[in-house]
Structure 1
Protein backbone atom coordinates (compact mmCIF):
# COMPACT_ATOMS: atom_id res chain seq x y z
CA UNK A 1 0.00 0.00 0.00
CA UNK A 2 1.25 3.52 -0.85
CA UNK A 3 1.77 6.59 1.28
CA UNK A 4 -1.22 8.12 2.99
CA UNK A 5 -1.53 11.83 2.26
CA UNK A 6 -4.15 12.90 4.78
CA UNK A 7 -2.82 11.62 8.09
CA UNK A 8 -3.69 13.47 11.27
CA UNK A 9 -0.12 14.79 11.49
CA UNK A 10 -0.17 16.12 7.91
CA UNK A 11 -3.55 17.79 8.41
CA UNK A 12 -2.37 19.43 11.66
CA UNK A 13 0.81 20.68 9.99
CA UNK A 14 -1.22 22.00 7.04
CA UNK A 15 -3.63 23.87 9.29
CA UNK A 16 -0.71 25.33 11.26
CA UNK A 17 1.01 26.53 8.09
CA UNK A 18 -2.21 28.06 6.78
CA UNK A 19 -2.69 29.92 10.09
CA UNK A 20 0.91 31.18 9.93
CA UNK A 21 0.39 32.30 6.33
CA UNK A 22 -2.78 34.17 7.26
CA UNK A 23 -1.00 35.81 10.20
CA UNK A 24 1.74 37.09 7.87
CA UNK A 25 -0.91 38.47 5.48
CA UNK A 26 -2.70 40.18 8.35
CA UNK A 27 0.50 41.80 9.65
CA UNK A 28 1.54 42.97 6.18
CA UNK A 29 -1.96 44.28 5.53
CA UNK A 30 -2.00 46.21 8.78
CA UNK A 31 1.40 47.67 8.00
CA UNK A 32 0.17 48.79 4.58
CA UNK A 33 -2.78 50.55 6.20
CA UNK A 34 -0.18 53.12 7.30
CA UNK A 35 0.28 54.04 3.64
CA UNK A 36 -3.46 54.53 3.12
CA UNK A 37 -3.79 56.62 6.26
CA UNK A 38 -0.90 58.97 5.52
CA UNK A 39 -0.85 59.13 1.71
CA UNK A 40 0.26 62.52 0.46
CA UNK A 41 -0.80 63.39 -3.08
CA UNK A 42 2.11 65.80 -3.49
CA UNK A 43 4.68 62.98 -3.14
CA UNK A 44 3.48 61.04 -6.18
CA UNK A 45 0.78 58.87 -7.70
CA UNK A 46 -1.20 56.58 -5.39
CA UNK A 47 0.62 53.21 -4.85
CA UNK A 48 3.75 54.43 -6.64
CA UNK A 49 7.02 53.71 -4.88
CA UNK A 50 7.88 57.42 -4.98
CA UNK A 51 4.98 58.21 -2.67
CA UNK A 52 6.05 55.64 -0.05
CA UNK A 53 8.44 55.83 2.87
CA UNK A 54 11.21 53.25 3.20
CA UNK A 55 9.20 51.08 5.60
CA UNK A 56 6.13 51.24 3.36
CA UNK A 57 8.25 50.21 0.36
CA UNK A 58 9.68 47.29 2.34
CA UNK A 59 6.19 46.19 3.37
CA UNK A 60 4.84 46.52 -0.18
CA UNK A 61 7.76 44.57 -1.67
CA UNK A 62 7.53 42.01 1.14
CA UNK A 63 3.85 41.46 0.40
CA UNK A 64 4.59 40.87 -3.28
CA UNK A 65 7.40 38.44 -2.39
CA UNK A 66 5.00 36.66 -0.02
CA UNK A 67 2.51 36.29 -2.92
CA UNK A 68 5.22 34.71 -5.08
CA UNK A 69 6.31 32.35 -2.28
CA UNK A 70 2.71 31.26 -1.77
CA UNK A 71 2.30 30.52 -5.48
CA UNK A 72 5.52 28.49 -5.52
CA UNK A 73 4.54 26.53 -2.40
CA UNK A 74 1.03 25.82 -3.69
CA UNK A 75 2.49 24.63 -7.00
CA UNK A 76 4.94 22.37 -5.17
CA UNK A 77 2.16 20.91 -3.00
CA UNK A 78 0.02 20.21 -6.06
CA UNK A 79 3.02 18.53 -7.71
CA UNK A 80 3.65 16.35 -4.63
CA UNK A 81 0.00 15.34 -4.31
CA UNK A 82 -0.23 14.44 -8.00
CA UNK A 83 3.00 12.44 -7.73
CA UNK A 84 1.75 10.48 -4.69
CA UNK A 85 -1.67 9.82 -6.24
CA UNK A 86 -0.08 8.71 -9.52
CA UNK A 87 2.27 6.34 -7.69
CA UNK A 88 -0.66 4.89 -5.70
CA UNK A 89 -2.63 4.32 -8.93
CA UNK A 90 0.36 2.65 -10.62
CA UNK A 91 0.93 0.39 -7.59
CA UNK A 92 -2.72 -0.70 -7.62
CA UNK A 93 -2.45 -1.75 -11.27
CA UNK A 94 0.38 -4.16 -10.52
Structure 2
Protein backbone atom coordinates (compact mmCIF):
# COMPACT_ATOMS: atom_id res chain seq x y z
CA UNK A 1 0.00 0.00 0.00
CA UNK A 2 1.22 3.50 -0.85
CA UNK A 3 0.31 6.94 0.42
CA UNK A 4 0.50 9.77 -2.10
CA UNK A 5 0.56 13.43 -1.12
CA UNK A 6 -0.19 15.57 -4.15
CA UNK A 7 -0.11 19.35 -4.26
CA UNK A 8 -1.32 21.49 -7.13
CA UNK A 9 -2.70 24.95 -7.74
CA UNK A 10 -6.50 25.27 -7.60
CA UNK A 11 -6.65 25.58 -11.38
CA UNK A 12 -5.42 21.96 -11.73
CA UNK A 13 -8.18 20.45 -9.54
CA UNK A 14 -10.09 18.79 -12.39
CA UNK A 15 -6.94 17.41 -13.99
CA UNK A 16 -5.65 15.86 -10.75
CA UNK A 17 -9.04 14.27 -10.07
CA UNK A 18 -9.14 12.86 -13.63
CA UNK A 19 -5.64 11.41 -13.28
CA UNK A 20 -6.50 9.72 -10.00
CA UNK A 21 -9.83 8.30 -11.15
CA UNK A 22 -8.50 7.05 -14.50
CA UNK A 23 -5.47 5.49 -12.79
CA UNK A 24 -7.49 3.30 -10.46
CA UNK A 25 -7.54 5.32 -7.24
CA UNK A 26 -10.67 4.07 -5.46
CA UNK A 27 -10.88 7.00 -3.04
CA UNK A 28 -8.99 10.11 -2.03
CA UNK A 29 -9.41 13.25 0.01
CA UNK A 30 -8.42 16.79 -0.78
CA UNK A 31 -8.66 20.24 0.70
CA UNK A 32 -7.56 23.82 0.35
CA UNK A 33 -4.08 24.76 1.51
CA UNK A 34 -1.87 27.82 1.18
CA UNK A 35 1.30 27.27 -0.78
CA UNK A 36 4.32 29.32 0.22
CA UNK A 37 7.30 30.28 -1.91
CA UNK A 38 10.25 32.18 -0.53
CA UNK A 39 11.17 34.85 -3.05
CA UNK A 40 14.30 36.17 -1.36
CA UNK A 41 16.51 34.85 -4.15
CA UNK A 42 15.03 37.57 -6.36
CA UNK A 43 16.16 41.17 -6.03
CA UNK A 44 13.30 42.59 -3.95
CA UNK A 45 14.85 46.08 -4.07
CA UNK A 46 13.99 46.29 -7.79
CA UNK A 47 10.26 46.26 -7.00
CA UNK A 48 8.81 48.81 -4.56
CA UNK A 49 5.80 46.64 -3.77
CA UNK A 50 7.54 43.28 -3.58
CA UNK A 51 7.46 41.08 -0.54
CA UNK A 52 9.91 38.34 0.35
CA UNK A 53 7.32 35.56 0.02
CA UNK A 54 4.37 34.57 -2.09
CA UNK A 55 1.29 32.66 -0.93
CA UNK A 56 -0.58 30.59 -3.49
CA UNK A 57 -4.05 29.04 -3.17
CA UNK A 58 -3.44 25.33 -3.64
CA UNK A 59 -4.91 21.89 -3.04
CA UNK A 60 -3.53 18.94 -1.09
CA UNK A 61 -4.69 15.46 -2.13
CA UNK A 62 -4.23 12.44 0.14
CA UNK A 63 -4.43 9.13 -1.72
CA UNK A 64 -4.13 5.57 -0.41
CA UNK A 65 -3.65 3.05 -3.19
CA UNK A 66 -2.20 -0.37 -3.99
CA UNK A 67 1.43 -0.31 -5.12
CA UNK A 68 0.48 -1.63 -8.57
CA UNK A 69 -1.44 1.60 -9.34
CA UNK A 70 1.49 3.87 -8.50
CA UNK A 71 3.44 3.82 -11.77
CA UNK A 72 0.39 4.71 -13.84
CA UNK A 73 -0.39 7.76 -11.69
CA UNK A 74 3.23 8.94 -11.70
CA UNK A 75 3.40 8.55 -15.49
CA UNK A 76 0.21 10.58 -16.02
CA UNK A 77 1.42 13.34 -13.66
CA UNK A 78 4.77 13.49 -15.47
CA UNK A 79 2.97 13.72 -18.85
CA UNK A 80 0.72 16.49 -17.54
CA UNK A 81 3.67 18.46 -16.16
CA UNK A 82 5.62 18.10 -19.42
CA UNK A 83 2.73 19.59 -21.39
CA UNK A 84 2.38 22.64 -19.13
CA UNK A 85 3.46 26.03 -20.38
CA UNK A 86 3.08 27.54 -16.90
CA UNK A 87 5.70 27.46 -14.16
CA UNK A 88 3.34 25.60 -11.85
CA UNK A 89 3.33 21.80 -11.85
CA UNK A 90 1.62 18.98 -10.00
CA UNK A 91 3.90 17.80 -7.17
CA UNK A 92 3.72 14.33 -5.65
CA UNK A 93 5.39 12.58 -2.72
CA UNK A 94 5.13 8.81 -2.27
CA UNK A 95 5.32 7.09 1.12
CA UNK A 96 5.44 3.36 1.83
CA UNK A 97 2.94 2.17 4.41
CA UNK A 98 4.07 -0.60 6.71
CA UNK A 99 0.72 -1.06 8.44
CA UNK A 100 -2.83 -0.15 7.72
CA UNK A 101 -6.04 -0.57 9.68
Query: What is the TM-score normalised by the length of structure 1?
Result: 0.29
Does 1 or 2 have the higher relative contact order (CA < 8 Å, sep 6+)?
2
Task: Give 1 or 2: higher strand fraction.
Answer: 2
Task: Give 1 or 2: higher helix fraction.
Answer: 1
Greater Cα radius of gyration, structure 1 or 2:
1
Query: What is the TM-score normalised by the length of structure 2?
Result: 0.27
